[in-house]
């Protein structure tokens, strides 16, 4: 954005999805970037939606985990794992246990902070679910695996705006598409 539109000032403000949507509808923010899919359904009928990324979440394990040298794991193999999950509420996706697993699962740790979750996984204190877009940024000691699941689920990333976009908003949406293509 700085190279292509040096006069355009972009400020990032983090917040839960519902809060972002309220700010967007109230005109206090111009673009909300959010995840949707499997349990994350929001009313977006009055808004303009751009699909940025299709996501298939991944399982992360420590480099010493029994799955660490594999590229994939069957979902049935996850039943007895200790899970490190995000604190779940309606403010946004927090990634709990693998969502298609039925029954009682062991949640070893529940934290909001991604850095702490990744650190606990690296320390071998459990496994976790992450968005696929996080894979290139994983810290040392953490491995990502695909999960073979007969009931796969997706998490897509959207850029959401009010229907009437300014040229500045269109420029930012274009930059988001370009970065998403690079990541995808």
Rounded to the nearest angstrom, the gap between the alpha carbon of residue 157 and the centroid of all alpha carbons in its chain is 8
pLDDT (tens digit per residue) in 25-78 = 999 999 999 988 877 788 999 999 999 998 889 999 999 999 999 999 999 999
- As a whole number of angstroms, the distance between CA 88 and CA 40 comes to 12
pLDDT of residue 89: 57
Burial of 65 per CB tally in 10 Å (0-12, 13-18, 19+): buried
pLDDT (tens digit per residue) in 113-151 = 889 999 999 999 999 999 888 898 999 999 999 999 998
- As a whole number of angstroms, the distance between CA 138 and CA 130 comes to 10
Structure pTM? 0.79
pLDDT (tens digit per residue) in 77-123 = 999 999 999 875 555 556 789 988 988 999 999 998 889 999 999 99
Higher-pLDDT residue of 65, 12: 65
CATH 3.40.190.290 boundaries in the chain: 58-148
Residue range 58-148, CATH number = 3.40.190.290
Instruction: Give the pair of three-digit tokens for residue 56.
Output: 């298939």
- As a whole number of angstroms, the distance between CA 95 and CA 97 comes to 7
pLDDT of residue 31: 97
* 97 touches 30 (CB < 8 A): no
């Amino acid at each position: 954005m700085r190279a292509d539109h040096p006069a355009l000032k972009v400020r990032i403000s983090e917040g839960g999805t519902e809060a972002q949507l309220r700010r967007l509808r109230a005109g206090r923010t111009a673009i909300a970037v959010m995840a949707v899919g499997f349990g994350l359904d929001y009313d977006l009928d009055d808004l303009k939606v751009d699909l940025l990324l299709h996501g298939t979440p991944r399982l992360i394990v420590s480099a010493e985990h029994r799955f660490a040298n594999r590229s994939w794991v069957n979902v049935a193999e996850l039943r007895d794992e200790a899970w490190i999950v995000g604190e779940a509420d309606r403010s946004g996706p927090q990634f709990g246990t693998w969502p298609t697993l039925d029954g009682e699962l062991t949640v070893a740790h529940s934290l909001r902070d991604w850095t702490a979750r990744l650190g606990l996984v690296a320390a071998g204190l459990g496994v976790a679910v992450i968005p696929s877009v996080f894979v290139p940024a994983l810290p040392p000691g953490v491995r990502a695996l695909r999960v073979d699941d007969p009931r796969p689920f997706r998490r897509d990333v959207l850029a959401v705006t009010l229907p009437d976009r300014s040229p500045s908003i269109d420029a930012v949406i274009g930059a988001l598409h370009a970065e998403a293509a690079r990541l995808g």
